[in-house]
Chain A
């Protein structure tokens, strides 16, 4: 099984990647690790005519502390996120979630930027950056702009990135508290989550409970109103529209969201 024909181009710099994307127009896609895009291309669910390989832009692979913010380069692999001592101490939610994506081989290749730009609501890191209140930096023909994570995910496989815009950095405010948890439920180790929950302090975000990753606003409001974690978790499915598929129907997902949110809030409370 191989992808449909395309033209492969390799970018040697961010500027070159942007220039190639401008030339390629709507038929061009950026290729980072390829672990979201290539499987879709093999199934002909994505048929780009031009692939612009940004995988060698090592200047986009880093985790560093900038004042009150942790900056993560878009090309940082899941493996490097999981191994980062800075993340382990400052943002353990991101390190822990990254260590559970896919399997070791996938984690060696897959990147945080690739996952976010792909905007799959069943992927883990989109919900994690929502819970972390991250800001996503993108570069395009007219320069750099910042997009709040809450505005970035717009629908199934749909992000706020304009054609030709490249996600370059994820900027995450240092959390105020120490309470965090990541929970997901899968049938097999390597599967996407049937449902997942990311908690940082009192922010709660859900994996695979709709067309895009969502904040569990009703849970957050209940917590802000003084509800106990177990009681607040009962609102986890409110306002969501979880999919029905082979892994479970919407009712089952709503149940999972409540159970996993209760576990996540308990675990976060035990750390905070």
Chain B
């Protein structure tokens, strides 16, 4: 079927099999490979993108379900001049990554979390990351980065 998705503000249209998953549409049709296929069972969150502004696991959404809607991936966060998004800046400043595989999903989950709750407590950040696994177990700095990004934005 023909699927059209606005990915990071740009229209992407492709003829794809009905069973195409959103994560494959984003990687193979839009050519954006930040969103990783990790567990492929909606557990790890490495494929997290925003669908109309809300975090979703793109391995558990059909491309057809996103037809006509807006998707944001980690590639779409930085400003037009390349300036990093506050959450990206905070991950860098607080060293919120180790191997980096979970990072795009963590960043997108964090952007969605802060959109819903701009000033979360540390507990709320940890709960908000329930759906994202870091196999390096680097959670402390990830939580620190999200708290720092929240303070940056609020101030």
CA A79 – CA B112 in complex, angstroms? 13
Report the number of A-B residue pairs with Cβ-Cβ less than 8 Å. 82
A2 to B21, CA, bound (A): 7
Q: Please encode chain A, from 171 to 192, with 1 for each CB lying within 8 Å of some chain B CB and 0 for all others.
A: 0000000000000000001100
Which of these binds chain A: B54-62, B77-85, B92-100, B143-151? B54-62
Restricting to A33-54, which residues have a CB under 8 Å from any CB of B? 34-35, 38-39, 42, 51, 53
**A126 in the interface, Cβ–Cβ < 8 Å?**
no
Let me know if B131 and A106 touch, CB within 8 A. Answer: yes
Contact of B54 among A51, A55, A103, A108 (CB under 8 A): A108
Looking at A2, A42, A103, A189, the one whose CB has the most chain B CB atoms below 10 A away is A103
Q: Is A202 an interface residue (CB 8 A)?
A: no
- Partner of A39 from B18, B41, B54, B130 at Cβ < 8 Å: B41
CB-contact partner of A105 in B1, B17, B20, B48, under 8 A? B48
Check if A1 is an interface residue, CB within 8 A of chain B: yes
Instruction: Count chain A residues whose beta carbon lies closer than 8 angstroms to a beta carbon of B.
Output: 28
Number of interface residues of B (CB under 8 A): 32
- Tell me the B98-125 residues at the A interface (CB within 8 Å): 109, 112-113
**Contact with A106, one of B24, B57, B128 (Cβ below 8 angstroms):** B57
Q: Which of A5-13, A18-26, A86-94, A252-260 faces chain B?
A: A5-13
- How far, in angstroms, from A166 to B109 measured CA to CA in the complex? 32
In the complex, whether A224 has a CB less than 8 A from a CB of chain B is: no
Contacts A2-B24, A103-B130, A104-B112 given; indicate if A109 touches B18 (C-beta within 8 A).
no
CB distance from B73 to the nearest CB of A (A): 14
| Chain B residues near A108 (CB-CB < 8 A) | 51, 54-56, 112
How far apart are the CA atoms of A42 and B113 in the complex, in Å? Answer: 28
Chain A residues within 8 Å of B, Cβ to Cβ: 1-8, 10, 31, 34-35, 38-39, 42, 51, 53, 55, 79, 102-106, 108-109, 189-190
Known: A104-B109, A105-B55, A106-B57. 16 other contacts (CB 8 A): A2-B21, A2-B24, A4-B19, A8-B1, A34-B61, A35-B60, A38-B61, A51-B18, A102-B130, A104-B55, A104-B131, A105-B56, A105-B57, A108-B55, A109-B61, A189-B127
User: Which residues of B are interface residues toward A (Cβ below 8 A)?
Assistant: 1, 17-21, 24, 40-43, 45, 48, 51, 54-57, 60-62, 64-65, 67, 109, 112-113, 127-128, 130-132
